[in-house]
Structure 1
Amino acid sequence: MTKTICYMQLRSFGLAVGWLELILFITLTFIYGENLLRYGLDKHEYKYHFVYGTGLNMGDCFFFALALINTLTSFLLILGIKKGRFLLLVIWLINRGISLLGYFIISSLEFTKFIMSNDDVHYNASCAILQSQALILFNCFLVYGIYWLLKEIKDSNDQQHRLDTPVFSVSQESRPSKLDFNAYVHQYKFQPSLFGKDFPDNEDTDKLLEGS
Structure 2
Amino acid sequence: MKILLIEDDLMIGQSLSQFLKGEGYAVNWCQNGKSGSEAIKVETYELVLLDLGLPDISGLEVLNNIRAAKIMTPVLILTARDAIDDRVAGLNAGADDYLVKPFALAELEARVRALLRRTTGHTNSILSNGEISLDTVSKILHFREAAFTLSAREYAVIYALMESPGKVWSRAQLEERLYGWQEEVESNAVEYHIHQLRKKLGTEAIINIRGLGYRVKKS
Structure-2-length-normalised TM-score: 0.24
Question: Counting helix residues as a fraction of each chain, which structure ranks higher?
Answer: 1
Structure-1-length-normalised TM-score: 0.25
Q: Which has the larger radius of gyration?
A: 1
Question: Counting strand residues as a fraction of each chain, which structure ranks higher?
Answer: 2
